[in-house]
Amino acid sequence: MGTARPSDKRLSVRSELGFKLIELVVTAGQKKERIDKFLAAQLENSSRAKIQKYIDDECVLVNGEPVRASYKILPDDRISVSIPTTAPPDKAVPEDIPLNVVYEDEHLIVVNKPAGMVTHPGHGNWTGTLANALLFHCNKLSTINDPYVRPGIVHRLDKDTSGLIVSAKDDVTHASLARQFFDHTIDREYWAIVWGRLPAGRGLIEADLGRSKSDRKKFAVVEEGKFAATEYEVLEVYSYLSLVRLKLHTGRTHQIRVHLSHIGHPVFGDPTYHGRRLNYGEPTPKMRQDVTDLLKIMNRQALHAKTLGFVHPVTKAHLHFDSELPEDFEEVLTRIRK
């Protein structure tokens, strides 16, 4: 699979940990065509549908950036394709994984997702996800999103963000919930422990977000990005950390984490957006030791989706749920309050 053709002098294949990396450069004489069609012709044993799946999973990069299947290749484009050496399952399979169910009826289910659980199967995480657990727990799930890998999934939380998430059991419920998310009528509140003391008790962070030019797995504030707005309120202030409540006005990937890092107050413990290094004042030896101890407790970003409210698609009742903070979050708060 994905073997270089003998005539392709600008194509190379090498094995990396967990995947095969294929790299090629588009020659000057190559006609302009869709990248999925081009790669299906270049790589042996790779159908166009399989290439499109790689593209959807962001396993295909052009000049270091993910693209859509409709992207038209250009001369000197540098294309890389990462193919997992272990083939993913054709669809998500039910797995007996414990769930903290907050609410459930015949139409939907609300779960308090633990940190460390991926929302649905994807590149590098084909099992052990919330979707796998829901398939085992529920008799049926909606099929609006890809029913093979995202059954019932209406919205997502980052792997290491804990908190409330709602999933749909039928397509009518799914469509209604999705519309509420799109219209921003969903009531969602996040709590976070952040570095430093914010400049005001309340504020609105507005900064356009897009994929980072230096690391495709990260997002950043960029001029050509999509509009994003995050509202915050400071709940408690400590010596070098603060507890804040946050509300999303838009729903961009990693929005809270990037916005807070952008204004110099990254989420405590966040390994991706500068939350695991000292970010406040002149650190004393005692402060350094305290931070080291706290980071041992919080081995992820201290971000929790605490509340969730929406109109039930069938009964039309307004449902509102509140969740307890997870154990690691509470332990950090207990220590810094002292």
For 262-288, b/e burial (b = at least 16 CB within 10 A) is: bbebbbbbbebbebbeebbeeeeeeee
Contact between residue 33 and residue 75 where contact means Cβ atoms under 8 Å apart: no
DSSP 275-310: -SS--SS---HHHHHHHHHHHHH--S--EEEEEEEE
Q: How far is CA 282 from CA 182, 238, 274, 287, 319, in A?
A: 43, 15, 17, 9, 46
Q: How far is CA 193 from CA 64, 110, 162, 239, in A?
A: 33, 24, 13, 12
In angstroms, what is the C-alpha Rg of the chain? Answer: 22
Q: Which residues are catalytic, by number?
A: 158
Rounded distance between C-alpha atoms, residue 2 and residue 6, angstroms: 12
Rounded distance between C-alpha atoms, residue 52 and residue 105, angstroms: 36
Helix axes 35-42, 48-56, angle to 10 degrees: 120
Contact between residue 260 and residue 272 where contact means Cβ atoms under 8 Å apart: no
> At 125, which helix (H) or strand (E)?
none
> At 171, which helix (H) or strand (E)?
helix 171-182
How far is residue 199 CA from its own chain's centroid?
28
Contact between residue 154 and residue 177 where contact means Cβ atoms under 8 Å apart: yes
Rounded distance between C-alpha atoms, residue 281 and residue 256, angstroms: 23
